[in-house]
Amino acid sequence: MAIDPKKTIDDKEIVSRLAAELPKWRLEDGWIRRTYKTNGWKGTLMVINTVGHLAEAAWHHPDITASYAWVEVRLMSHDAKGITERDFQLAKKIEDVVGWQPGAEPDSALEGTPRGDLRFAYIKYD
């Protein structure tokens, strides 16, 4: 069965799904939101570019607010005037990619950025 991309989800279901599927995201003022903390401008730009790439590939575009050491991503389907399945699916993809920690994976040849050396730190993983 195809998902109707313009079918909005009611607030009660949104809150329940966020708790179960995207616990670091929140519902606020009609948007699902997530703030990513970074270690500075380099990390902020990396998050913005990552979100931009994923959004463009999905053809579903978030609102983004940024400062030196944080990025807020806000998702809402403008054409549906509410939160839809598209918002949840893009939020999950953003969470998967921005939150990826290769050094935390067992048996990975990708070690990740050096821990403890702030010259290489960019995302503050929570």
E-assigned strand segments in the chain: 26-28, 31-37, 63-67, 70-75
Q: Which two tokens stand for residue 118?
A: 């702030």
Identify whether 59 is part of a domain: yes
Q: Which domain holds residue 62?
A: 29-100
- How many structural domains are present in the chain? 1
Identify whether 60 is part of a domain: yes
Identify whether 121 is part of a domain: no
Identify whether 16 is part of a domain: no
Q: What is the CATH number of the domain that holds 51?
A: 3.30.1360.20
The strand pairing partners of 36, in sequence order, are 71
Residues 75, 99 contacting (CB under 8 angstroms): no
Ramachandran bin of 115, using left for φ above 0, alpha for ψ from -120 to 50, beta for the remaining angles: beta
Kindly report the pTM of this predicted structure. Answer: 0.92
Q: Which two tokens stand for residue 116?
A: 């403890």
**Per-residue pLDDT tens digits of the chain, which is 126 residues long:** 678 888 999 999 999 999 999 999 999 999 999 999 999 999 999 999 999 999 999 999 999 999 999 999 999 999 999 999 999 999 999 999 999 988 777 888 988 888 788 888 888 888
Query: Residue holding tokens 């995201």?
Result: 25
Identify whether 52 is part of a domain: yes
Distance CA 77, CA 71 (A): 20
Identify whether 111 is part of a domain: no
Identify whether 4 is part of a domain: no
Residues 43, 114 contacting (CB under 8 angstroms): no
